[in-house]
Structure formats: C-alpha cells, structure tokens
Amino acid sequence: MLKQMENAGLTDLHFGLDPATGLKAIIAIHSTARGPAIGGCRFIHYAREQEAVTDALRLARGMSYKAALAGLPHGGGKAVIIRPEVEFDRVALMQAFGRMVDQLGGRYITAMDSGTEVSDMDAIETTTRFVSCTSASGDPSPHTALGIFEGIKAAVLHQLGKDNLAGLSVAIQGLGHVGHALAQRLHNAGAQLYVADIDPERTGRCVQEFNARAVDAEEIYDTGADIFSPCGLGATLNSDTIPRLNCRIVAGSANNQLATDQDGNRLRQRGILYAPDYVLNAGGLIHVAMHHAGHSPAERDDKIREIASTLTHLFEEADRTGQSVHHVADLHAESLLQAAKEAQIKRQRQEVQHA
C-alpha cells in the first residue's frame, strides 16, 4: 500500500469505517503544499475494495495539477465512498462521511463527483464545514462552460489568428450540463454547431435552440468542423478516433480525454492544437473553491477567464520547445507543486526553530 501511495505521489491516505451507517470510505490527499486539498467524492459500486482505493489514489494527483494551474490556493485530494450493497440511510451515511472529513481538520475539502449530489453535500455540511458544492454554491457546470468557452477563444486566436468565433464550426460530443451550456455560448458567438449525444432528446434540444446540425454519436469525429469539443466521457481521443479528426483544435470539458499520453503526441503530429482537459475544465473547481472561500461572483469570473491566458502561455511554450501541450502543462503543474513543497518545508523548519 505504501508503495502504491509513493507511486501516486500522495502525502496521506485515510480509511473510514462506520458500521452503524455502512460507511466505508477512503480519502487520498496528494498535496497540501499550496493549501488544503480539494476534490470530489465518488459514491459508486465497487466489485472489490482495492478498486475503490485505486480510484482514490489515481485521481488525487490530477486535482493537484488542476488547482495549481488554475492558480488556486489548494492542493488535490479525492474521496471514495463504497456504495453499500444493502439498504442504507443515505443522509446518515453522508453525515458519517462528514465526520470523517471533519477529523482531518481542514486538510481536505470535499465536493461532488460521480454518484454524489448537491443534497449529499448538504447532508455532509451538517457535520463538517469542509465541504463545497452545497445548494448554497449551486451547479458548477455553467462555470465550467464559461472556462471552456474562454479557452476555445484563446485556442482560436493562437491557432487560427482569429479574435472571434463567427463562422467557425464546432463539433460537440456530449450535451449534458456542460455541453449544453457551452453550445449556448458558442451559438451566441456566431459559431456553427454539430452536436451528438447518445440521448436523442439532448441532441434535439440543441438542434431546436441553437440551429445545430445533429450527428450520430459514432460520426461526430468525421464532421470536419474547425473545433472538436469532447464534453461526454473520457478517453475518446485515441488511435482509432484521432486519424478521423479533420479539425484544427480539440478543446472540451471531459476529464482524461487522451486515452494514453501518446495520443497527445498524435494530435500534435496531425497539426491539431490540444487544450489540456484539466486546464480548460477548471472553471467548476474555481467556482466551488472561491465560493467556499467567500469570494464574489465577479472575482470568480475573473479567475475563470484567466484560463485563457494560462492556455496561451502553455501553447507558446509548446511551440518554443517543440513539446506537446499536455506535456508542457504537466511539467508546469509539477514545478508549481515542487516550489510550493519547498516553501512548505522551509515554513515547517522555521516553526520547529521558533517552538
């Protein structure tokens, strides 16, 4: 287990068990060097407990990268609650999880993720204040969509030399919370939309509201649109789909869009500019973190708009060094975390000396 933690770069791993409510939970903390770790809590079925641990381990580092490149005073963490196979009291279980989070004294702030809802965060809030995404903070998706939209404009300026989206075409894969809000913004900015979702109702809505052209979910890679925007599931950019893309830019909200690291290089070799997912989709995290810290909506929106300048900086560095943008982003995140770690060690030494 310790070796696994070392490989995942974690500082600590916590297990919580509460037989009275059926709680079996894991909290993985990757870094607190920049501030309290923040990250979602999954609540899904796992065939084996080890799979739940692996999920928490593998996802915590990504949250540190995302928070660092978003310029937030947070590190990354991830929680997993194993969904009980027998009947359970959901509120009581979430409250027990809240107590577990509270015992960490603010080292970890929890949030929504697969399988958890705003009502769960409200239940958690009754036992800890280290929680975000409660009904007071609202749905993060529109803020994620704002960040994607601003990032797409930065990518268009960099790659196509155009300072607006009028007349450009965008293929959106997945029209859920983020995809639909993004489609609205792109339509208002004068872009032509191709849309696909496995749910035909969602596709139909975009056709009606935004004059979009509906495409079969399997054919969304073949539209020839200027921009491909993956807003559904992860790992849709792979050795099968990338050769089918005839776009100049890939920029969407889905997490872990590249099936493998090699796929980032494949995009580059095809002359396609890739906006790294965790940089581009940080708007929701910025919203929950800044709402939790008591910042105003205007301050939050300014921070979300900074995603565009961060991306431009990464694009320029990738051009200068001949590396793939996703690789440049990882290196940049790692160097920010390393600098924060060194500052943290220095602070700790000074505290010991003054004690």
To ligand NAD, the closest distance from the beta carbon of 52 in angstroms equals 18
The contact set with ligand NAD (CB under 6 A) reads 140-141, 144, 173-179, 196-199, 202, 217, 231-234, 253-255, 281, 284
Nearer to ligand NAD, 5 or 195 (CB): 195
The least CB distance from residue 231 to ligand NAD, in Å, is 5
Select from 275, 337, 314, 257 the least CA-distant residue to 76. Answer: 337
- Closest approach of Cβ 81 to ligand NAD, in Å? 18
Closer of 96 and 175 to ligand NAD (Cβ): 175
Sign of the torsion formed by the C-alpha atoms of 236, 239, 243 and 244:
negative
Which one of 3, 24, 66, 78 is the catalytic residue? Answer: 78
In the complex, least distance from residue 323 CB atom to ligand NAD, rounded to whole angstroms = 24
Give yes or no: 153 in active site. Answer: no
Sign of torsion over alpha carbons 155, 160, 161, 167: negative
Can you list the positions of beta strands (E) in the chain? 12-18, 23-29, 37-44, 75-82, 108-112, 169-173, 192-196, 213-214, 227-230, 249-250, 273-274
Residue 22 vs 75, nearer CB to ligand NAD: 75
Q: For helices 90-103 and 118-125, give the axis angle rounded to 10 degrees.
A: 60
Q: Across the beta sheet with 169-173, what order do the strands follow?
A: 213-214, 192-196, 169-173, 227-230, 249-250, 273-274
Is 89 or 219 the residue whose CB approaches ligand NAD more closely?
A: 219
In the complex with ligand NAD, the residue whose CB is nearer, 16 or 174, is: 174
Which residue has its beta carbon closest to ligand NAD? Answer: 176
Task: Identify the CA nearest to 288 among candidates 144, 92, 88.
Answer: 144
Least distance from ligand NAD to the Cβ atom of residue 127, Å: 25
Contacts of 261 (CB under 8 A, 6+ apart): 326, 327
Residues recognised as catalytic? 78
